[in-house]
């Protein structure tokens, strides 16, 4: 299921970024950054001139970086780099202090972060770009990889709301996609994350992603029929190769208490039903 990733870990294959034309990719990412067309909001912000777009990200800011032991078993220990800022406005975000405040965190020069990654890579299985959301920081990420002299597998940990142009770049550097597939319809996505045309864009990008993939789906209370089951059905029909982490970690954080359908913790019965449904339709549940 994760053949390329495991081959990179074992040294049978090289991480994609080591064979990519990083200078060209960086140039393309910078061009997409200003006016900004990295994510499908296509807000057009002139970021190189200091104009903030929807996500508020100008210069990349690192909220934290550390060896993470709480990810999926195949990934740990994972060297996670958390960016501040996000192109979603999820009312239940558990990392809201990072995602909704792009001014938090610290700017780190690419050569400094590359050195830090190199010093950790013999103790980690991968480099995990996360947030917030890594998409607004694509040019910075490539700048770091240009300076990285270590064969570290790359994990793109994302909400998958990228433009096709951004996806083409990410495909050149990513060994494993760790995706966050939240919603089974556009109405829930718009109401709870202020994201238009969610279903069309996120399903498209799951198909455009080249390489190994683990899909995460956070089960929301009262959203089994409208979100969980449609997401699982789509995965079965379109990415049956991808193992799925059906997640029970939901808790009403940030502004969730203002929304009556998600103002409580997930019931055990809801999670059990979600996992049973996934297994019944043939999904490999992690």
Distances (CA, A) of 122 to 11, 14, 245: 13, 15, 26
How far apart (Å, rounded) are the C-alpha atoms in residues 265 and 275? 17
Q: How far apart are CA 125 and CA 123, in angstroms?
A: 7
Q: What is the pLDDT of residues 59-84, one digit of tens each?
A: 999 999 999 999 999 999 999 999 99
218 has a pLDDT exceeding 90: yes
Contact yes or no for 132/86 (Cβ under 8 A): yes
- Give the model's pLDDT for residue 179: 98
In whole numbers, what is the pLDDT of the chain averaged over residues? 97
What would the pLDDT profile of 171-196 be if each residue is shown by its tens digit?
999 999 999 999 999 999 999 999 99
245 in a structural domain: yes
Half-sphere exposure in the Cβ direction for 38 (13 Å, CA): 31
Judge whether 144 lies within some domain: yes
- Tell whether 52 is covered by a domain: no
Residue 236's domain comprises: 3-46+62-280
Closest CA to 18 of 145, 157, 185: 145
Query: Is pLDDT at 119 greater than 90 in this prediction?
Result: yes
- Residue closest to 232 by CA, chosen among 219, 249, 213, 221: 219
pTM of the model: 0.97
Q: Return the structure tokens found at 178.
A: 């760790």
pLDDT of residue 1 exceeding 90, the answer is no
What's residue 58's pLDDT?
94
Q: Which CATH number is 196's domain given?
A: 3.20.20.70
8 alpha-carbon distance from chain centroid = 20
Q: Give me the percent of the chain exceeding a pLDDT of 90.
A: 99
């Amino acid at each position: 299921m994760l053949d390329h990733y495991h081959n990179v870990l074992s040294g049978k294959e090289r991480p994609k970024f080591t064979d990519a034309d990083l200078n060209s990719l960086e140039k393309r990412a910078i061009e997409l950054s200003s006016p900004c067309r990295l994510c499908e909001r296509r807000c057009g912000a002139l970021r190189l001139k200091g104009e903030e777009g929807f996500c508020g990200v100008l210069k990349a800011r690192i909220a934290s970086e550390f060896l993470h032991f709480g990810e999926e078993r195949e990934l740990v220990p994972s060297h996670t780099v958390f960016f501040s800022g996000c192109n979603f406005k999820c009312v239940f975000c558990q990392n809201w202090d990072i995602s909704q405040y792009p001014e938090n965190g610290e700017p780190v020069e690419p050569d400094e972060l590359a050195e830090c990654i190199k010093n950790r890579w013999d103790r980690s299985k991968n480099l995990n770009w996360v947030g917030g959301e890594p998409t607004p920081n694509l040019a910075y990420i490539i700048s770091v990889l240009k300076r990285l002299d270590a064969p570290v597998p790359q994990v793109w940990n994302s909400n998958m709301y990228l433009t096709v142009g951004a996806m083409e770049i990410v495909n050149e550097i990513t060994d494993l996609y760790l995706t966050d597939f939240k919603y089974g319809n556009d109405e829930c996505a718009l109401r709870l994350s202020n994201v238009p045309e969610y279903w069309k864009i996120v399903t498209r990008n799951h198909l455009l992603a080249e390489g190994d993939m683990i899909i995460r789906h956070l089960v929301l209370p009262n959203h089994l029929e409208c979100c969980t089951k449609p997401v699982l059905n789509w995965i079965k029909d379109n990415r049956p190769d991808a193992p799925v982490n059906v997640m029970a970690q939901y808790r009403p954080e940030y502004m969730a208490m203002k929304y009556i359908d998600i103002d409580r913790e997930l019931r055990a019965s809801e999670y059990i039903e979600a996992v049973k449904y996934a297994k019944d339709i043939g999904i490999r549940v992690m």
